A and B are shown apart, each in its own frame.
Chain A
Amino acid sequence: MLLAFDWSQLAQQTVIGLSSGGTWALLALAIVLIYRSTGVVNFAQGELAMLSTFVAWSLVHHGLSYWGAFFLTIALSFLGGVGIERAVIRPVERAPVLTIVIVTLGLVFVIDGIARWGWSSETRSLPNAFSTRPIDIAGVAFSIQDLGNIAVSLGVVVLLGLLFRYTKLGLALRAAAVNPQESRLLGVRVSWMLALGWGLAAAMGAVSGMLTAPALASFDQNLMQPVLLYALAGAVLGGLESPIGAVVGSLLLGVFVNLVGTYVGWVGNDLRLPVALVIILGVLLVKPSGLFGRTAVRRV
């Protein structure tokens, strides 16, 4: 059942899709970052981002501007990520994958508990980072907030790409992920690289949370749960191995989910997530390691 079709609505919905896809992309990138270096999916990534957003809310509440709180929260989240890696992931570094996954699931509850303990359960809101005024581009009205979200998301992705591609630290991070043994022999402190990876991932999650929250009328401790699911879906769609894949996968998913939710009547709001998951399952069956993932070749 298709509703009446017009091009400006399609353009608007695409931008809205890119905007939410951009915030998912940041969280997906955080997940991929940790997956590449340790082979583990961090299920607590969403809750960490939620906690960061609450920290940002408190900073704003104590008089900081949105952008002041934004950068301070990123720095704090980075330190928090490093700290968590040292405290709980380090002891199970050599354990089987499933064990580490369970530890991250435990972290989900722990962080949720901290957020509920430190901040009451009433709903709250973050000020808008960008003007909510619409802007007219070629006769179509877009919201500045959506365009700003897309710009910030892509900006963070580019910065991260530059860090990995052109700095010595980025080289060490990549080396530690690809071949830990040899990197260790060459003097890379692999274990600390993992901790830095957690820090970077937490910082990216913080950006994702701080972009997600202002778009909502109000938020609570469940803020990032849907975002985490979409980010996981986007990361799997692009291939858990591939940072580019995570970004492209999340953006595609954002646009796709929004368009399906808008134009296909029976999907509406309730079935967006299941439909997205079914699509991803379909993609995985054709390409088991995602759109951009490499097929693993194993020596026996």
Chain B
Amino acid sequence: MRRAAGIVLWLAAVAAALAVFLLLPHLVSDFHTRDLASAGAFFIAIVGLNLLTGYTGQISLGHGALMAIGGYTTAALVVHEHWRDVWTIPLAGLAAGIVGFVVGIPALRLSGLYLALATFAFAVAMPSLLKKFSGLTGGTQGLRFLESAPFQVTGLKGTVTVFGHTTTQNHFLYYLTWGIGLLGFAVAWLIVRGRFGRAFRAIRDSEAAAASSGVNLAAYKTLAFAISGVYAGVAGSLVAIQSEIVNPLSFTVLLSILIVVGAVVGGLGSLPGLVLGALFIQYLPSIAAHVSTRQGVPEFVYGAAIIVVIILLPGGAGGLLRRLAAPLTSRLYTRP
């Protein structure tokens, strides 16, 4: 009986989330749909980072660089090889996954903030590296889809027709991004509750205890980096597709920091809160700019909001959701 009630509650939550996902573009303007699509790309990167930091305990301040790998893979395939933009997404994920795996190997020797600083260095170095290899990356100019390969951009004519349904380009980008986002979320959920997730959490809680229980530390830590890299690569690819241009400024250190902020605000080691984390980093800059356009005020509001949220919500939005849902769920799970 209780189990059935739990399943019903769970299904209701999933149905509500799906309904919001499907209906939201029709409730806001076309322009705002594009912002939501951009938040969706953040969401994907945050879900990936959460697998690495929230579940495996490895802090990465360099996810913007992995997103750059994905974004540039997409851009290079579109501009140099004339692939259609959306078909490059899997390859962008794969490329960033491989780079993530490679980054994960030296990470085995580092822990805590040393790892954070090493990945931070990766993010800092990325823009200069992109400028240096200008043959492939277009240097400071970057790669422009519309000028170099306009026919590969989906929805250039303003509308997109998928399976007989015609929507605007912004709606298409929204459904594409959040569709991939929800899929990625479901995969992350499956990973987290399976044997991989168990191994990840064991490593996070105590590396020594995990190793002595037979968890292969090297394999699982690099695996976490690789999986996280795939998410970052897909997110970077979507950023490139949405903005139709990549340049070294598309993937700065700031982006890496924002992804971490989004993951912490959303709640590390929890999945549902991450949507709020993504919306937080998407909308905070424009909200901060609304307060006053006087020089310096947006930056101040921006930073202050991050600090206040962190102090007020130590467990992130995920922790808050858990606390709000506790009266409901504890009735379901505790025996009288």
Contact = CB atoms under 8 A, between A and B. Distances in A.
B113 A112 contact: no
Given A101-B116, A236-B114, A284-B114, A113 B128 contact: no
B18 interface: no
A217 interface: no
Interface stretch (B29-37, B89-97, B155-163, B296-304): B296-304
Interface in A221-251: 229, 232-233, 236, 240
Contacts of A229: 124
B208 interface: yes
Contact of B113 (A88, A102, A115, A240): A240
B257 A270 contact: no
Task: State which size class the interface on A falls in.
Answer: 35 or more
A102 B59 contact: no
B109 interface: yes
A117 interface: yes
Interface string A68-92: 0000000000000000000010011
Contact of A102 (B117, B264, B295): B264
B8 interface: no
A102 B106 contact: no
A223 to B, nearest CB: 15
B206 interface: yes
Contacts of A107: 303, 307
A116 B295 contact: yes
A88 to B, nearest CB: 6
Contact of A108 (B53, B295, B297, B303): B303
Given A271-B128, A273-B128, A285-B106, A113 B303 contact: yes
B294 interface: yes
B264 A271 contact: no
A95 B307 CA distance: 13
Contact of A98 (B53, B124, B302): B53
Q: Is the interface of A mostly helix, strand, loop or mixed?
A: helix
B263 to A, nearest CB: 9
B275 interface: no
Contacts of B306: 102-103, 105-106, 109
A285 B206 contact: no
A257 to B, nearest CB: 13
Contacts of B298: 113
Given A99-B264, A284-B114, A277 B121 contact: yes
Given A108-B303, A113-B303, 5 more contacts: A102-B310, A109-B306, A110-B307, A112-B296, A113-B296
Closest 5 CB pairs of A and B: A109-B303, A113-B300, A117-B296, A116-B296, A113-B299
Interface of A: 35, 39-41, 88, 91-92, 95, 97-99, 101-103, 105-118, 120-121, 229, 232-233, 236, 240, 270-271, 273-274, 277-278, 280-281, 284-285, 288-289, 298, 300
Interface of B: 53, 59, 106, 109-114, 116-118, 120-122, 124-125, 128-129, 131-132, 206, 208-209, 257, 260-261, 264, 268, 294-307, 310-311, 314
